[in-house]
Structure 1
Amino acid sequence: MLNRITLLSFAAAALAHDEHHQSLLTGPLQSLWYHTLPGDGGTQADSVFAGIATFGRLPYQPCLSYREATYDIAFIGAPFDTGTSYRPGARFGPSGIRQGSRRLNLYGGYNVPLATNPFDSWATIIDCGDIPVTSYDNTLALKQIEEGHFNILNRAPKTDADKSGPSKHGKTLPRVITLGGDHTVTLPLLRSINQAYGPISVVHFDSHLDTWRPKVFGGSSSEVASLNHGTYFYHAAMEGLLRNDSNIHAGIRSTISGPSDYENDGYCGFQIVKAREIDTIGTEGIIKKIIDRVGTTNPVYLSLDIDTLDPAFAPATGTPETGGWSTRELRTILRGLGDLNLVAADIVEVAPAYDTNAEHTTIAAADALYEIMTLMVRKGPLSLSMDDAMPGDL
């Protein structure tokens, strides 16, 4: 009898929790998870070390199989790493970043420098889980990522779905933040973005150019070999996915095959901000260069390779390069990009197997995404009035 009563109590508690959880999905405190305690115990929030890890403890919805899920900002994982050239392991990046994000909402989630709480705002933000990605066929895997991302992107947002927006069909779409994965995943993501927005302006944080011609990086012995985490921007440029002369790299510092690499990079439509420039122009100078290059009206895609950070701050990455920025410097630069019209973003090359026990890299990655998410929330709904719409948008 006692066991039966105990089971009934827990069943009632679970039902109450589910009902409360559903209300939280549409309420302001969408990142908090509460349990109804038996008896007169009231409710209690989970400890940050308990429960299933979603990004920032956001509500989880299996968006790919649940078409009715609605959101303004969605996180989606792309666990792929068979395009890497040195250390594999970024297929575990999505789960590692989620683990590193557990404490983001510990004290309420308020971003002090940006004076915004992304967890308690106008925006409905959820974690959609991961795109199913095969590890046996790169061509199929990249197609899965493209189709999965577009499935999440090409929906009516929770807010302002009936208003005109910056997409090429004049619609307002939700914003999507992708957890990689090695940097190859940015190509299928840009293909998805191109379906929605056309050629896009890109802000690319990295220690490497990633615009190498296939014969220089990875060989051109096969079509599959030619596409990897060092050539995806070359392919993106050749496919017309990039908006010419409004793309920029920031944090570049790796060795190259020769000066011709820079010439080819320019051909792909990029300007370069080297990591060492922070010593002379500071974070404000880097912010200014990015905004001047990209502008504040074009739709912008932000791609962040965690190796932008120095290995002292983020050792768990596929191709680490010394001489990078600190976590504080990167977060300051990201906060300065609030005027950009960010429509989507990714973070890549997080390989948790090489991290410290203190989770340096995964925490740094989660905190960088927290800044990006805050920028999106602070900017407001991704809709434009008819007067503000750019020519060709509608």
Structure 2
Amino acid sequence: MLRSLSVLGLAGTVLAREITFPPVSGVQHILADDGGLVPGGDISAAMYSGLLTFANLPYVHCLAADGTEVEKYDIAIVGAPFDTGVTARPGARFGPTGIREGSRRISPEFSWSVYTGRNHFREWAKIVDCGDAPLTVLDNTIALKQLDKTHRVISGRKGNDSEYAVPRIITLGGDHTTTLPALRSTYDHWGAVSVIHFDSHLDTWDPDVLGGGLSHYAGVNHGTFLHIAHEEGLILNSSIHAGIRAPVANKKYDLKHDRACGFHIIKARDLDRLGVQGVVDRLKERTTGTRVYISVDIDVLDPAYAPATGTAEPGGFTTRELLTILDGLSGMEVIGADVVEVAPIYDNPGETTTLAAAEVVRSLLSLMVDTPVKGKL
């Protein structure tokens, strides 16, 4: 019996069909005629395979220990996997991974814009992915201090372009609390900035209101971080919200307090009256002459376009409207940015939210490349 099986096995080997590979294609894996890799062929940048980085950008260990030589960069992508400051659905700790997955179709080699004819990945700035900040999931206070240090280290390295020595950072959230450490970092290098805040919620709530006055710990969350940033002197009184539509807790106090924190408001339905260009003009007028930090809560989009978020509010912008508004801000001195509140567990099989978030990050990168900014080391 054993002899018969071995003969059958041999026969199977002899009769196996020989596989013939098609001619080599320039957009697929590089293969030789014998099915092996072409000597010297580099398939490390093949899309949908290998380690996951934003837009298939090179990974740099930006958080390497002191004394370690680190490759220089001008713009850094960093993930902030933090979601224990939310008041609704959790899940945004997986946002950085989700946004990177949504960017898999993007590559620096295949990014010439049909609108502008430019490829911002191939201009002066060296853009890299630094991975995620190492954050504890058990203590918000410690996690935010870890994120503070992450921003200090990454922004504290010298840029690749010697004329623009301070690298700029785009943060992948994480819930919106993660913007506070980013603003602390930008203040160190550029001073107080105007914040353009795309969101359906104000996020300037008094910690005694949204934290309930229970503790300092409870008062630091994704709805109070702009109040705290104002309190710390990180932002200018020329800041502005866009896309606001969520209800407030107190019809007089919340809006008055928001103005005291330095913000004007463009409500979501104002887009119907002003048009996209009108919104762009309002944002530019409000922040003119200042350096700008752009924070995009993905819930500024209508849930039809971004269901994967913790506090969804119907009646928001479309993805196309948001991207057009962002592209219209070209010329601003954008010194930092983020895309937050992406919670992939609530997305649909088409990855609607993560695809939109990835495209928003690409627009933010373009704004930074369009206008280099000098900062102090």
Give the TM-score category using the shorter length: 0.7 to 0.9
In the alignment, which of 309, 312, 321 is matched to residue 301 of structure 2? 309
Shift of 1:110: 1.3
Q: Retained in 2: the 8 A contact 1:114–1:335?
A: no
Asked if 1:222 corresponds to 2:221, the answer is no
Q: Which amino acid aligns with 2:260?
A: Y
In the alignment, which of 341, 344, 352 is matched to residue 352 of structure 1? 344
Q: Which amino acid aligns with 2:91?
A: G
Q: Which amino acid aligns with 2:225?
A: Y
Q: Secondary structure at the match of 2:141?
A: helix
CA distance in 1, matches of 2:40, 2:85: 50
Q: Secondary structure at the match of 1:373?
A: helix
CA distance in 2, matches of 1:152, 1:35: 35
Larger radius of gyration: 2
Q: Which runs of 5+ in 2 are unaligned?
A: 1-26
CA distance in 2, matches of 1:188, 1:375: 21
Q: Retained in 2: the 8 A contact 1:182–1:349?
A: yes
Query: Deviation digits for residues 256-312 of structure 1, max 9, x if unmatched?
Result: 1122211000000001000101111110000000000001x4221111100000000
> 2:227 maps to what in 1?
234
Asked if 1:118 corresponds to 2:120, the answer is yes
> 1:144 maps to what in 2?
146
Query: Deviation digits for residues 5-52 of structure 1, max 9, x if unmatched?
Result: xxxxxxxxxxxxxxxxxxxxxxxxxxx998786465773655422112
Tell me: CA distance 1:321–1:126, structure 2 relative to 1, closer, same or farther (3 Å).
Answer: same
CA distance in 1, matches of 2:28, 2:75: 19
Q: Which amino acid aligns with 1:382?
A: V
Q: Retained in 2: the 8 A contact 1:109–1:117?
A: yes
Asked if 1:43 corresponds to 2:45, the answer is no
Aligned length: 343
Structure 2 length as normaliser, TM-score?
A: 0.86
> 2:18 maps to what in 1?
none
Query: Deviation digits for residues 214-248 of structure 1, max 9, x if unmatched?
Result: 1221311100001100001111111111112x100
Q: Retained in 1: the 8 A contact 2:331–2:370?
A: no
Tell me: CA distance 1:35–1:176, structure 2 relative to 1, closer, same or farther (3 Å).
Answer: farther
Tell me: CA distance 1:41–1:363, structure 2 relative to 1, closer, same or farther (3 Å).
Answer: same
Query: Deviation digits for residues 160-189 of structure 1, max 9, x if unmatched?
Result: x2x4x6xxxxxx311111111000011111
> 1:132 maps to what in 2?
134
Q: Which amino acid aligns with 1:333?
A: I
Tell me: CA distance 1:146–1:323, structure 2 relative to 1, closer, same or farther (3 Å).
Answer: same
Of stretches 255-264 and 277-286 in structure 1, the one that deviates more from structure 2 is 255-264
Structure 1 length as normaliser, TM-score?
A: 0.83
> 1:273 maps to what in 2?
266
**1:138-177, aligned counterparts within 5 Å?**
138-159=140-161, 161=162, 163=163, 172-177=165-170
Q: Which runs of 5+ in 1 are unaligned?
A: 1-31, 166-171, 385-392
**1:48-59, aligned counterparts within 5 Å?**
48-59=47-58
Q: Which amino acid aligns with 1:325?
A: F
Asked if 1:68 corresponds to 2:98, the answer is no
% identical aligned pairs: 49
Tell me: CA distance 1:176–1:40, structure 2 relative to 1, closer, same or farther (3 Å).
Answer: closer
Q: Retained in 2: the 8 A contact 1:78–1:178?
A: yes
CA distance in 2, matches of 1:40, 1:61: 27
Q: Secondary structure at the match of 2:207?
A: coil
Q: Secondary structure at the match of 1:119?
A: helix
Q: Retained in 2: the 8 A contact 1:114–1:374?
A: no
Of stretches 364-373 and 193-202 in structure 1, the one that deviates more from structure 2 is 193-202
CA distance in 2, matches of 1:332, 1:268: 27
Q: Retained in 1: the 8 A contact 2:47–2:104?
A: yes
RMSD: 2.1
Q: Secondary structure at the match of 1:103?
A: coil
> 2:285 maps to what in 1?
292
Q: Secondary structure at the match of 2:79?
A: strand
> 1:335 maps to what in 2?
327
Asked if 1:210 corresponds to 2:203, the answer is yes
CA distance in 1, matches of 2:117, 2:300: 26
CA distance in 2, matches of 1:43, 1:96: 30
> 1:324 maps to what in 2?
316
> 2:80 maps to what in 1?
78
> 1:383 maps to what in 2?
374
Q: Retained in 2: the 8 A contact 1:149–1:192?
A: yes
